[in-house]
Amino acid sequence: MGKPVMISVSGVRGIVGQGLTPELMLKFSAAAGMFYGKGSVLVGRDSRVTGNMIKHAVFSGLMSVGCDPVDIGICSTPTVEHAVKFSDAVGGIIITASHNPAEWNALKLLNRDGIFLNEEEGRRVKDIIDKDLIEYVMWENIGVSSEKTCVTSAHIKSILSMDIIDVAKIKERKFKVALDCVNGAGSTVMPEILGELGCEIFPINMEPTGDFSHNPEPVPGNLTELCQVVRDNKADIGVAVDPDVDRCAIIDENGNPVGEEYTLVLSEKYVLEKRKGPVVANVSTTRAVDDVAREAGVEVFRTKVGEINVVKKMIAVNASVGGEGNGGLILPDVHLGRDAPMAAAVILSALAESDKTVSELKKEVPLYYMAKNRIEIANANADEILKKIIDMSDESKLDLTDGVKINEENYWIQVRKSNTEPIIRIMAEAATQEKAQSLCDRYIEIIKKFTG
């Protein structure tokens, strides 16, 4: 799975014990501290077994340059974002490798508004490391560490006070919710928010041990156990989150995965019924987003893949709703980041207000199928491959926002390179799963020919 350690403008990630070392984490955190300047920096982590070791390196790095790290413990990524935004901290560090398997870990940096660093800010941190600009402070100026609790409750309180979430109506329905937190940080926030919403919870994988009970990416193939729990308990809905709880996937009342793309689509439809305004999504997100926006009479803006790109555009166009098709809903109401507990609350509110089931809500939006593949390209030049695909395509159908996307009337296909691994990602969306997969297969063949 690629190189064991990667330092980029979006942080540092790797396999612990195989490149991702405490020395590197310390150095990266010291560089982050230099970038932040003096002040407190909130540090949260998901439940990975390596998180505690890395936390100590992060604390050393921050304190060594005069920052004051604040341990907020195991909590979700959106909880850290929320906590940073509503504190006087100068920044935040999240120790998480998101949906990646247990051997991975990573550091992600937040600015003082609780938003991921943008490319330019990330480059400044990377420069501090690359150019050896870390200045350790003298002994009498070393930072002071502390702890802070209750950040999760504060986050939940903010979500439940959002205008668009009808807490009373949700409570009335006494929803039966099957919940899979994959033994990640979701175990801290998800049962609490669902409890506050009066739900009866049927939980699985709720120990925050980092011992992921299945591949932690919340895509249908990994959620068979949760689907069974929905059926066994005749639940109204199944909710799955990834280890750091920024992605949310739902299962309908029959135990069928709704598909992670539809977390955003169903939320978008509900939000636009409440308030009209632009929608922002990355270019890899389902076309159903455009259909729902057209119906509501609002514009859609597409961005490069990457949460920060969506967030930046949301700020620029004053968006009503935004997100990514991987189950990442972003609303401007509380903080600007993907938020799974918020997504769950929004979907429950949509169910409560409409008095419909999940499968009925899904029937109200256009249905597309997506295929996602990846191809290893070893030493081949990804840019040259993309250039060849551009050359062979009809120019009027091209969207070059991120990689190469070819928009046809009834389907689209996108080919883009990974910035962190020697692979090319191929995605297609069409009216049937077979059609989407055959589009991917066709481009896999083409790329194989190009790479010899």
Q: Do 7 and 119 form a contact (C-beta atoms < 8 A)? A: no
Q: Which stretch binds Mg ion (CB under 5 A): 35-43, 98-106, 189-197, 442-450?
A: 98-106
d(CA 92, CA 85): 9
Interaction of residue 339 with Mg ion, rule CB under 5 A: no
d(CA 351, CA 419): 39
Using CB under 5 A as the binding rule, the residues of this chain from 268 to 287 that contact Mg ion are none
Give least dist CB 257 to Mg ion, A.
18
Beta-bridge partner residues of 416: 425
Using CB under 5 A as the binding rule, the residues of this chain from 20 to 79 that contact Mg ion are none
Give least dist CB 216 to Mg ion, A.
9
Interaction of residue 307 with Mg ion, rule CB under 5 A: no
d(CA 204, CA 44): 23
Instruction: Give CB contacts under 8 A, 24+ apart, made by 358-361.
Output: 358/236, 358/237, 358/250, 358/251, 358/252, 358/253, 358/258, 359/252, 359/253, 359/254, 359/256, 361/266, 361/269
Q: By C-beta, is 61 or 341 nearer to Mg ion? A: 341
d(CA 156, CA 178): 19
d(CA 112, CA 336): 12
Tell me which amino acid residue 89 is.
A
> Both tokens of residue 45?
């982590």
Give least dist CB 204 to Mg ion, A.
19
Q: By C-beta, is 342 or 406 nearer to Mg ion? A: 342
| Residue of 68, 236, 244, 252 that binds Mg ion (CB under 5 A) | 244
Residue nearest to Mg ion (CB): 98
Q: By C-beta, is 243 or 277 nearer to Mg ion? A: 243
d(CA 384, CA 424): 12
Q: Do 267 and 349 form a contact (C-beta atoms < 8 A)? A: no
Interaction of residue 326 with Mg ion, rule CB under 5 A: no
Interface mask toward Mg ion for 190-229; x: CB under 5 A: ----------------------------------------
Q: By C-beta, is 73 or 216 nearer to Mg ion? A: 216
What's the Cα-to-Cα distance from 155 to each of 188, 326, 340, rounded to whole Å?
11, 22, 12
Instruction: Kindly provide the b/e burial profile for residues 384-406, where b requires at least 16 CB atoms within 10 angstroms of the residue's own CB.
Output: ebbeebeeeeeeeeeeebbbbbb
Give least dist CB 184 to Mg ion, A.
9
Give least dist CB 98 to Mg ion, A.
3
Q: Which stretch binds Mg ion (CB under 5 A): 159-167, 241-249, 253-261, 339-347?
A: 241-249
Interaction of residue 242 with Mg ion, rule CB under 5 A: yes
By CB under 5 A, the count of residues binding Mg ion is: 4
Q: Which DSSP string do the residues of 106-124 spell out, in sequence order?
A: EEEEE-TTS-B--HHHHHH
Using CB under 5 A as the binding rule, the residues of this chain from 164 to 193 that contact Mg ion are none
Q: In the chain, how many H helices and how many E strands? A: 15, 20
Q: By C-beta, is 122 or 143 nearer to Mg ion? A: 122
Q: Which residues are catalytic?
A: 98
Give least dist CB 43 to Mg ion, A.
17
Q: Do 167 and 195 form a contact (C-beta atoms < 8 A)? A: no
Length of the chain: 452
CA proximity to 48, closest of 1, 107, 105: 105
Q: Which stretch binds Mg ion (CB under 5 A): 91-99, 148-156, 203-211, 344-352?
A: 91-99
Give least dist CB 247 to Mg ion, A.
5
Q: Provide the 8-state DSSP code for 257.
A: B
Q: By C-beta, is 81 or 429 nearer to Mg ion? A: 81
Q: Which stretch binds Mg ion (CB under 5 A): 19-27, 112-120, 124-132, 242-250?
A: 242-250
Q: Which stretch binds Mg ion (CB under 5 A): 153-161, 229-237, 245-253, 295-303?
A: 245-253
| Residue of 29, 47, 87, 98 that binds Mg ion (CB under 5 A) | 98
Beta-bridge partner residues of 280: 301, 322
What's the Cα-to-Cα distance from 221 to each of 224, 227, 325, rounded to whole Å?
7, 10, 16
Q: Which stretch binds Mg ion (CB under 5 A): 90-98, 194-202, 250-258, 439-447?
A: 90-98
Interaction of residue 246 with Mg ion, rule CB under 5 A: yes
Q: Do 126 and 8 form a contact (C-beta atoms < 8 A)? A: yes
Give least dist CB 448 to Mg ion, A.
31
Q: By C-beta, is 98 or 188 nearer to Mg ion? A: 98
Q: By C-beta, is 58 or 241 nearer to Mg ion? A: 241
Chain contacts with Mg ion (rule: CB under 5 A): 98, 242, 244, 246
